[in-house]
Amino acid sequence: MTHLAHHDMKMYGGIKLYAGTGSPELAQKVADYLGEPLCGRDIIQFPNENLFVKLHSSARGQDVYVIQTTSSPVHRNLMELLIMVQTLRLDSAARITAVVPYFAYGRSDKKDQPRVPITARLVADMMEVAGADRYILIEPHAGQVQGFFSVPGDVLTAFHMIADHLKSIKPQLHDPVVVTVDLGFAKKGRNVAAEIDAPIAFIEKRRVANDAKAQALTVIGDVKNRDVVLVDDEIDTGGSIVQAVNLVKEYGARDVYVICVHPIFSASAAERLAALPVKQFITTDTVPISPEKAALLGDRLKILSVSSLLGEVILRAHEGRSVGEMFNE
Ligand code: R5P
């Protein structure tokens, strides 16, 4: 019998990448970054809408990453993720990490009125019950989502790469000011402003009960005769950003740039955005944008890929190296 010295023993096997159907292009880019193929699997929907997953090869003893965003179709994507994770667990994968670039239900993060759920907690629980040992999320709506998991994970910010893009266009910005679309985003907005060495202003916004339409009220700070960089974590219906753009324009802003990490662009958001006097929409590929919606925004749409961010974090997680080091933390 061979006795391996402790330091020779590997806890997990090689990296194995799997992807659901939520964000195939992003998954392929992550695979390209890592130089690892996406492993084969079948995902079949039966006539009764039940899903079925079959892996093409064994994942036994491997360090597995399941890349699946949970944007539209939300429930199909979520079930694909859960079923894939369970399939891998039953196949005796050594470690399973759910890589979820956009985390569905992130906005249901607290009881802010009586008799309502905390669905983000439920989603976290479901991922763990399915068999996820770890998770990787990008910019979930609220930090407390980290506390909804009892397994460890990496919660990544996309704002370093967005700030890098802003730095690259800064020479063409006239007296830029970073403006957050609501006060809840003030801290993250301040970090972006600090990275590009610009002042900060805020929009005070209130939601009316459960109405998806938000109401922007006032701008706190100076935007007059300045180029405005509006920041938010996601654009869903576009209601908040339409109000924000109109408001800063009323307050005398010059050119307006819009940043959002997650381009949900539901319903007619893309049409509404296209009609806005915005110079550039800067976003990421945590959520795929259909070619039709992208065409509406044309050259004004700048999509930064999170693939190298995810790829590097997967590599470091696999090798047991610090992720904080990537951000000088
Ligand atoms: C809200 O708290 C978020 O930060 C976004 O402002 C919101 O999700 C955007 O939603 P919509 O585009 O539907 O206004």
What domains lie within the chain, and their CATH numbers? 3-157+307-327 (3.40.50.2020), 159-304 (3.40.50.2020)
Mutate to test the pocket of ligand 1, among 71, 187, 236 (most ligand atoms within 8 A of CB): 236
Q: Which of 125, 122, 152 is nearest to 137 (CA)?
A: 152
Choose among 303, 319, 284: nearest CA to 138. 284
Q: What is the DSSP letter of 38?
A: B
Instruction: Let me know: does 195 contact 163? Beta carbons within 8 Å.
Output: yes
Ligand 1 pocket mutation, candidates 105, 181, 233, 240, criterion most atoms within 8 A of CB: 240
What span, in angstroms and rounded, lies between the C-alpha atoms of 112 and 32?
Answer: 42
Ligand 1 first shell, C-beta below 6 A: 181-182, 184-185, 212, 214, 232-241
* pLDDT score of 117 more than 70: yes
pTM for the whole thing?
Answer: 0.94
Model confidence band, residue 5 (pLDDT cutoffs 50, 70, 90): very low
Give how far the C-alpha of residue 19 lies from the chain's centroid of Cα atoms, to the nearest Å. Answer: 16
Q: How far is it, in rounded angstroms, from Cα 328 to Cα 323?
A: 9
Cis peptide before 73 (omega within 30 of 0): yes
One-letter identity of residue 230 = L
pLDDT in tens, 283-326: 999 999 999 999 999 999 999 999 999 999 999 999 999 999 99
Give 166-169 contacts, CB < 8 A, sequence gap 24+.
Answer: 166/192, 166/195, 166/196, 166/229, 166/257, 166/259, 166/282, 167/195, 167/196, 169/257, 169/280
Phi, psi for residue 66 in degrees, rounded to 5: -105, 110
Chain segment 252-263, per-residue pLDDT in tens: 999 999 999 999
What is the distance in A from the centroid of ligand 1 to the CA of 210? 13
Reported as a single tens digit per residue, the pLDDT across 145-156 is 999 999 999 999
Which atom of ligand 1 is the closest one to the Cα of 185? 4
Minimum CA distance residue for ligand 1 atom 10: 236
How does residue 8 score in pLDDT terms, banded at 50, 70 and 90?
Answer: very low
Query: Could you report the per-residue pLDDT of 53-81, keeping only the tens digit for each?
Result: 999 999 999 999 999 999 999 999 999 99
Strand, coil or helix: 93? coil
Using a pLDDT cut of 90, give the percent of the chain over it. Answer: 89
Query: Nearest-CA neighbor of 77 among 24, 125, 146?
Result: 24
Ligand 1 atom with the smallest distance to the CA of 213 is 14
Contact indicator for 189, 139 with CB cutoff of 8 Å: no
Q: Do β-strands 63-67 and 51-55 pair in parallel, antiparallel, or remain unpaired?
A: unpaired
Element (H, E) at 323: none
Q: Catalytic site residue 205?
A: yes
Q: Which of 170, 205, 279, 302 is catalytic?
A: 205
Q: 246 pLDDT band (50/70/90 cuts)?
A: very high
Give the three-state DSSP class for 17: strand
Query: Within 236-288, where are the H helices?
Result: 239-250, 269-274
